[in-house]
Every structure is written in structure tokens, then in C-alpha cells.
Structure 1
Amino acid sequence: MMNKKDIPAKMLALQLKDPNLLYNCYMPFLEHGGLFVPTDDVFSLGEDILLAVEIADYPKRFLPTKVVWINPARTSAHRPKGVGLAFSEHESCLQAKNLIEAELGPRLRSDRTTFTL
């Protein structure tokens, strides 16, 4: 559980009920994993964000994250505007990473493009 002083001032929410959306948002190339969140809000690299995420039919999780990727606007590669959030070393992030990778299974090895790469 996070201490109150460790909770970031800004928060984003993301629902990942669809496996294709989960694949498009997951960022396995980050050390602890992460998620891309489509948003029109403006953030800075390195900014701490509390992510409220619902994965498949599992309960909502609150994850301490950091902005590490910014898509400024829809690109010709059909990538939406938004931010990539890196998971921290917090236990809740490790559990979320394991859950996401279990849900994605063999899709993790797909070479299909995502919202980031």
C-alpha cells in the first residue's frame, strides 16, 4: 500500500477490457513495464502520475507511474495523442505487469505495431 505522501498529485484512469486495446497500450520494453494512456491532457516527461487501471475483469488497481513517452498528436501511423507511463518498482506495479503479461500470453511476441512502437 502507498503512503499518502507517496501518492502523485495527478491521476489518469484507463479501462483495458478489450485484449486488442491491452496489447496496443502495454509497453513491455520498459524495465518494469508500463501503459500508454490516450489523453488530450498535457504532461511533462518525468512527471509522476497515479494510474487507476482496470484490466479485463479484475478489480481496479492504483499504480504509481512516471511519464516516459509522449505522443503529441495523432500521427500518420494512427497513433493517438497520449502519454506512456512507466511502472515503478512498487509491488502493485509488479502485480499489474504479471497480470497484463498473463492476459496477453502469446500476443506479447507479436510484431504488430502498438500505440508507441
Structure 2
Amino acid sequence: MQELLIDLQELDELYRCYMAALKQGGLFVKSNARFELGQSVKLRVTLPDEIEDHEIVGKVVWITPQGAQNSNPPGIGVSFVEDLDRVNDRIIKQLGTALNSDKPTYTM
């Protein structure tokens, strides 16, 4: 299983990467590597204002190819499958009311 490191230092970047439409949460991961829909991946995520990273097992549910029309960076959307550290809850708490924003994200 491929492991991806995600260091989200800024709340704005966390907002742009977070995939709130996914029931158990998910993150967009910038990458030029090739992935397949449904592929399992392991994320090592560091959230803003946190020192330790968190491990999440997920699956690829979104692919933004290089040169996408909306000028978003290439990468994948990963739906959380195994979130033992409850990262989704931590993200929701950090983003708070920003989740209701209409600012663009990397996915929708």
C-alpha cells in the first residue's frame, strides 16, 4: 500500500483539501503520481497547530489529472476508511464555520 505524507500547516490549505461531502471525511492530496480509482493508500497527515502526524487508511475516490481545466493541481481525493485517530473529527473542529464557506476547494 502506497504511503503519502500530507503536512497541512495552514487552515486555508486544510479547507481547500478537505472533502466534506464524503460521509467519513477525506482529503485531496497533491501528487503527480499515477493512481487508480478504488486504490488503497495510507496517509500520514499533520494538521495545523499539531506536531504529531496521524495515520489514515483510505481509498482513492477522485483523480484530478495534470492540466485539468479548472487549473487545480494534479492529485487524488482519498476517502477515509480507517481513521483510528479520529482525524475527520479534528478537521471538522479546526475548520468550524469555514465548512459553510463558498470558497473554492481542490475538488468541488
TM-score range relative to shorter protein = over 0.9
> Is the counterpart of residue 69 in structure 1 residue 62 in structure 2?
yes
* Amino acid aligned to 2:31: T
> Is the counterpart of residue 32 in structure 1 residue 24 in structure 2?
yes
Cα distance in 2 for residues equivalent to 1:44 and 1:77: 21
Counterpart in the other structure of 2:95: 104
Equivalent pairs counted in the alignment come to 107
Runs of 4+ in 1 over 4 A off after TM superposition: none
Checking the alignment, whether the CA contact within 8 Å between 2:55 and 2:83 is kept in structure 1 is: no
Equivalent positions of 1:1-117 (< 5 A) are 9-58=1-50, 59-92=52-85, 95-117=86-108
TM-score (norm: length of structure 1): 0.87
The SS at the match of 1:88 is strand
Cα distance in 1 for residues equivalent to 2:17 and 2:101: 14
TM-score (norm: length of structure 2): 0.93
CA positional deviation for 1:57:
2.3
Cα distance in 2 for residues equivalent to 1:24 and 1:74: 18
1:65-102 CA deviation, whole Å, 9 max, x = no partner? Answer: 1000000123232211000000015433xx10010011
Structure 2: runs of 5 or more not aligned: none
The SS at the match of 2:13 is helix
1:24-58 CA deviation, whole Å, 9 max, x = no partner? Answer: 00001001010000000110000000000100122
Cα distance in 2 for residues equivalent to 1:63 and 1:74: 28
Instruction: Provide the aligned C-alpha RMSD in A.
Output: 1.1
The SS at the match of 1:86 is strand
The SS at the match of 1:37 is strand
